Amino acid sequence: MTLGEIAGRTSATLTGDAGLAISGIASAANAKAAEIAFLDGDGKTPPTLSPHLKAVFANPAMKAFVPEGVAVLETPFPRHAHSVVASALFRPRHLTGYGAEPISSLAQIHPDAVVQPGAVIGPGAAIGEGAVIGPAAVIGAGVQIGCNTTIGANASIHCALVGDHVTVLAGARIGETGFGVLVGPSGAEDAPHFGRVIIQDHVTLGANSCVDRGVFEDTIIGERTKIDNLCQIAHNVILGRGVIVAAFGGISGSVRVGDGSMLGGRVGIADHVQVGERVSLAASAGLFRDVDSGETWGGTPAKPIRQWMREVAWLQKQANPKKSG
């Protein structure tokens, strides 16, 4: 699509070359020359911009941050306009239907793989040597499943690359859209997601856990990471190698967790938080800020463990004062 066509489709005011061709979408920080991005905000914080950015949707507050030579499509709803273009250019393959055959003739399945009854495997999917696909599991179009990987019953995997020796337990959901909500002319709308999930080797994902695909970039689960049952890993999260996430853990979008970190049961992490390597978060901790490598935190809001324990002890003392004389 040209910028002129995009302006007409989104009712945005174009400043720049109407003939510039756009073939992709991206975030402002990672956009390439033929990709369009968006800037949304109150205009108080300068955004990170790719040096290759050529076109961007922006609201009036953010327009001032757009460099000279970059085409601007001004609109009060830049992310909504961006999603309109995204939906016109792309559509996830698993939403188009696979036809009547449960196992597509266009899928590649190794002779030594096992596909249990009721499983659905989409076109372009590949199942590696020694893999086991459980009953009623769904392997979406283009999904790659590595060697000796086990997919449990009723699990579903879309928009994903899954490595070797991975265990996905029953009912897990990999590659669905995350909880991305944008503001449009008619109110709140779901943001489209066009990234993937990449699960590296020797990962375990517990029963009924969810790993959302990225919005533009990928959600990545590092090798030998172990995720318990009933956990939520949101879009664009990156978990390092050997991370442990206990049951009911909830990790919000764009969080980074370093190698070897351990998250206790019911830990919750707010979006865009950076967690260093070998960090320990006590059970039920609610983390809202970055944590340096090697630290142990607890409580809600989470803080260094010694500080949290002193505060708990002080509260107990105030609630149960010793009787005098």
Q: Which residues are catalytic?
A: 235
Q: Which amino acid is at 177?
A: T
E-only strand ranges, 24-111 = 24-25, 35-39, 55-58, 71-74, 108-109
Instruction: Please state, in angstroms and rounded to a whole number, the distance separating the CA atoms of residues 73 and 66.
Output: 11
Instruction: Please state, in angstroms and rounded to a whole number, the distance separating the CA atoms of residues 52 and 32.
Output: 5
Using CB atoms within 10 Å of the CB of residue 41, give its burial: 0 to 12 exposed, 13 to 18 middle, 19+ buried: middle
Could you give the 3-state DSSP secondary structure of residue 313?
helix
Q: Give the ranges where 40-116 is alpha helix by DSSP (H).
A: 78-89
Burial 259-277 (b: 16+ CB within 10 A, else e): bbbbbbbbbbbbeebebbb
Helix (H) or strand (E) holding 255: none
Tokens of 45: 């914080």
Instruction: Please state, in angstroms and rounded to a whole number, the distance separating the CA atoms of residues 223 and 220.
Output: 10
Q: What is the CA radius of gyration of the chain?
A: 23
Strands 268-269, 204-205: pairing kind: unpaired
The terminus-to-terminus CA distance of the chain in angstroms comes to: 84
Instruction: Please state, in angstroms and rounded to a whole number, the distance separating the CA atoms of residues 163 and 176.
Output: 18
Instruction: Please state, in angstroms and rounded to a whole number, the distance separating the CA atoms of residues 290 and 255.
Output: 10
